[in-house]
């Protein structure tokens, strides 16, 4: 193929069909189409596309939608910008070429062995579970009491009386349900009985179970915008129609949700520590949400994400604690306070739901690993979890402070940060100055090339992103590395540290 000739001819996307009723956002459909073309060789390295305005006109969408699609592909390394402001296909590694992600239903109509829903889900190449100093939500396990944990794992697996190795009850080991109820009472001020607890394989598994059991195909679900991408996967897999509802500094904008989807069946929220923005939903909003959901018979899933690591004394009561009409299904996980690979979490729900969820779980994968449940129940009973949590709260609070200090000192004109009341991550928003230079997706791509892996905020939007920023996890960040890493970031992004600004 004559590369020189290819580079001159600019390619149109006019042949692509945008599926406007799909649950896959328009920019993701465009990205999936282009990615599929690149990987299958239809758009070889060097191919230049028409300008964003022309493509938007061809596809009948806004230019911002096209630019958002390109941002995704920049971040993934499929596209690069040309000196004249256009985009062209970067050279894709040969190894990559064999791994053709399943196209979205919108992207090609290629028949595959899986459903349209799953094709579009797999086409979403959201980056997750990566190793980095800044991986959002990754806990530090270097201080974890592995000696005690290993002792209990050994003891439980060596005890032949443990249910004679038959299946456990689908709702979970009763001792563990009991410990979880106690734990929530002391750590979260949430009063519940062991009978209201169902053990799951983490929040993702709980979301999957609830979505499958609550939703019918095409049901509308409010999701936070920006929000937790993995939650959207479970909902989409269950056939839901996702309705993004904006989040402001008081949390989910309930009035906007009512306007956008008054007939929703379910609402999924992270009120303690909104993912990714980190805001805590104000009490007024919580009451407004509960009141509307009660009046309209809508279920609420409360993902009480990261509430355990609060860096301040008081915390607003959970939705579940404010709920008087058994409307809220509360989810928690051991992924952050212990480790993600444990794959254990829980649902707290009114007893009538517990019975239903338990029967449902029994028909899917029966229950979560028994050995893990037994060891965890003992680990909690002996007090190791509470001790670990107390230690880690202080460690994470210090890391958050150091990270904020480094960003404020080295990138004051480009990023703005404010403290997070709890959790393991914070968002640094782009100032107008940085926005004028680069998008967050492009910034994240450049940083990744330089060995600094940070998540662009725009990845968490279903619709066109309204804010630009970087999501910094600090769970694994060693405080002594913070200034060095942020300083490296200033070099990559061309930020000028204050002491070098020419007066
Ligand atoms: C908002 C939110 N909820 C829950 C979780 C935990 O999910 P799991 O319990 O499946 O590990 C995460 C993980 O990062 C998250 O970001």
Return all residues near 480 (Cβ < 8 A) that are at least 6 apart. none
346 lines ligand 1 (CB under 6 A): no
Q: Which atom of ligand 1 is nearest to the CA of 202?
A: 9
- Nearest one of 495, 478, 416, 427 to 456, comparing CA atoms: 427
204 lines ligand 1 (CB under 6 A): yes
Phi, psi (deg, nearest 5) at residue 499: -70, -10
The Å distance, Cα 135 to ligand 1 centre, comes to 13
Q: Which atom of ligand 1 is nearest to the CA of 204?
A: 10
Q: Which of 139, 203, 225 to mutate to test the pocket of ligand 1 (most atoms within 8 A of CB)?
A: 203
What pLDDT is stored for residue 129 in this prediction?
A: 67
What pLDDT is stored for residue 54 in this prediction?
A: 87
Q: Give the Cβ contact number of residue 500 at 10 Å.
A: 8
Q: Which of 230, 337, 423 to mutate to test the pocket of ligand 1 (most atoms within 8 A of CB)?
A: 230
- Nearest one of 68, 65, 74 to 38, comparing CA atoms: 74
Closest-CA residue, ligand 1 atom 3, reads: 305
The Å distance, Cα 332 to ligand 1 centre, comes to 9
The Å distance, Cα 178 to ligand 1 centre, comes to 23
299 lines ligand 1 (CB under 6 A): no
Q: Which atom of ligand 1 is nearest to the CA of 303?
A: 3
Query: β-strand 345-348 against 328-333: which pairing, if any?
Result: antiparallel
Of residues 468 and 158, which shows the higher confidence score? 468
Phi, psi (deg, nearest 5) at residue 239: 90, 15
Q: Output the pTM of the full model.
A: 0.80
Q: Summarize pLDDT for 206-232 with one digit per residue, the tens.
A: 999 999 999 999 999 999 999 999 999
- List, as one string, the DSSP characters of 34-49: HHHHHHHTSS-TT-EE
Q: Which two tokens stand for residue 203?
A: 């929040």
What pLDDT is stored for residue 92 in this prediction?
A: 59
305 lines ligand 1 (CB under 6 A): yes
Q: Which of 335, 368, 427 to mutate to test the pocket of ligand 1 (most atoms within 8 A of CB)?
A: 335
Closest-CA residue, ligand 1 atom 2, reads: 305
Q: What is the mean pLDDT of residues 69-96?
A: 75
275 lines ligand 1 (CB under 6 A): yes
Q: Summarize pLDDT for 355-372 with one digit per residue, the tens.
A: 999 999 999 999 999 999
Q: Summarize pLDDT for 172-219 with one digit per residue, the tens.
A: 999 999 999 999 999 999 999 999 999 999 999 999 999 999 999 999
What pLDDT is stored for residue 317 in this prediction?
A: 86
Number of alpha helices (DSSP H) and beta strands (DSSP E) in the chain: 19, 16
pLDDT at 52 over 80: yes
Q: Summarize pLDDT for 296-308 with one digit per residue, the tens.
A: 999 999 999 888 8
Q: Which atom of ligand 1 is nearest to the CA of 207?
A: 10
Q: Dmax of the chain from CA atoms?
A: 76
By three-state DSSP, how is residue 347 classified? strand
User: CA-to-CA distance for 48 and 81, rounded, in angstroms?
Assistant: 9
The Å distance, Cα 410 to ligand 1 centre, comes to 31
What pLDDT is stored for residue 402 in this prediction?
A: 96
The Å distance, Cα 54 to ligand 1 centre, comes to 40
């Amino acid at each position: 193929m004559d590369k020189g000739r290819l580079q001159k001819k600019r390619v149109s996307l006019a042949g692509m069909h945008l599926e406007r009723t799909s649950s896959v956002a328009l920019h993701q459909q465009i990205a999936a189409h282009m990615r599929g073309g690149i990987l299958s060789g239809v758009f070889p390295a060097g191919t230049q596309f028409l300008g964003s305005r022309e493509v938007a006109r061809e596809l009948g969408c806004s230019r911002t939608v096209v630019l958002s699609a390109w941002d995704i592909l920049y971040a993934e390394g499929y596209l690069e910008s040309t000196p004249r402001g256009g985009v062209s296909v970067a050279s894709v590694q040969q190894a990559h070429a064999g791994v053709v992600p399943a196209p979205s239903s919108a992207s090609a109509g290629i028949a595959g062995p899986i459903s349209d829903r799953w094709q579009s889900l797999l086409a979403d190449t959201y980056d997750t579970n990566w190793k980095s100093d800044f991986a959002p939500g990754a806990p530090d396990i270097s201080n974890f009491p592995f000696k005690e944990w290993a002792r209990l794992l050994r003891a439980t697996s060596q005890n032949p009386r443990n249910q004679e190795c038959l299946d456990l009850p689908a709702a979970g080991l009763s001792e563990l349900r009991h410990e979880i109820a106690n734990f929530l009472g002391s750590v979260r001020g949430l009063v519940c009985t062991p009978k209201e607890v169902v053990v799951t394989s983490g929040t993702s598994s709980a979301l999957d179970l609830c979505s499958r059991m609550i939703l019918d195909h095409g049901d509308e679900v409010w999701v936070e915008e920006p929000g937790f991408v993995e939650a959207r996967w479970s909902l989409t897999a269950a056939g839901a129609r996702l309705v993004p509802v904006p989040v402001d500094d008081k949390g989910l904008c309930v009035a906007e949700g009512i306007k956008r989807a008054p007939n929703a069946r379910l609402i999924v929220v992270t009120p303690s520590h909104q993912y990714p923005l980190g805001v805590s939903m104000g009490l007024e909003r919580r009451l407004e949400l509960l009141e509307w959901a009660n009046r309209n018979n809508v279920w609420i899933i409360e993902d009480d994400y990261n509430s355990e690591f609060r860096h301040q004394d008081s915390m607003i009561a959970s939705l579940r604690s404010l709920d008087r009409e058994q409307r809220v299904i509360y989810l928690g996980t051991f992924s952050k306070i212990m480790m993600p690979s444990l794959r254990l979490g829980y649902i707290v729900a009114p007893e009538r739901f517990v019975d239903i969820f338990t029967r449902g779980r029994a028909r899917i994968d029966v229950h979560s690993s028994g050995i893990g449940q037994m060891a965890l129940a003992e680990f909690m009973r002996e007090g190791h979890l509470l001790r670990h949590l107390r230690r880690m709260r202080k460690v994470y609070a210090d890391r958050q402070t150091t990270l904020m200090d480094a960003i404020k000192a080295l990138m004051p004109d480009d990023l703005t940060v404010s403290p997070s009341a709890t959790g393991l991550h914070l968002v640094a928003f782009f100032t107008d100055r940085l926005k004028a230079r680069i998008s967050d997706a492009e910034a994240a791509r450049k940083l990744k090339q330089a060995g600094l892996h940070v998540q662009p905020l725009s990845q968490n939007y279903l619709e066109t992103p309204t804010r630009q920023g970087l999501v910094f996890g600090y769970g694994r960040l060693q405080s002594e590395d913070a200034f060095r890493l942020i300083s490296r970031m200033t070099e990559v992004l061309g930020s000028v540290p204050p002491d070098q600004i020419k007066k």
